[in-house]
Amino acid sequence: MPMQVNLDEVEYITETSITIRGSRRRITLPKEIVNHFGLEDGDRIMWILFKDDRLILVPKRISGQYSGESMRVGENSRRE
């Protein structure tokens, strides 16, 4: 089933590569995404996989604004 996206709601789209070396898997976050959320070394990303194969990534800060907060899927988590 193809995913439908309303482009009026999209701020940024890109693709990145996955690097697999042995049991280690790495992805690279685009600079625009890191800057948009103000991500820093040690911050975490929550991965949410739905049964229909949709995937949502939610930034989770170790220190600062997102620490200890629960975030609803779709909630605007941008750092102001």
CATH number, domain containing residue 32: 2.10.260
Give the C-alpha separation, 9 to 14, whole Å.
15
Question: Range of 32's domain?
Answer: 7-60
- Beta strand 24-27 with 44-49 is unpaired
Looking at the domain assignment, is residue 66 inside a domain?
no
Question: In this predicted structure, what is the pLDDT of residue 4?
Answer: 77
For residue 37, pLDDT over 70 is answered with yes
The pLDDT tens digits of the residues spanning 42-67 come to: 888 999 999 988 888 888 876 555 44
- Domain assignment of residue 73, yes or no: no
Chain-centroid distance, C-alpha 6: 18
pLDDT of the residue at 70: 45
Domain-located, residue 36: yes
pLDDT at 68: 38
Does this model's pTM top 0.95? My answer is no
Q: How many domains does the chain have?
A: 1
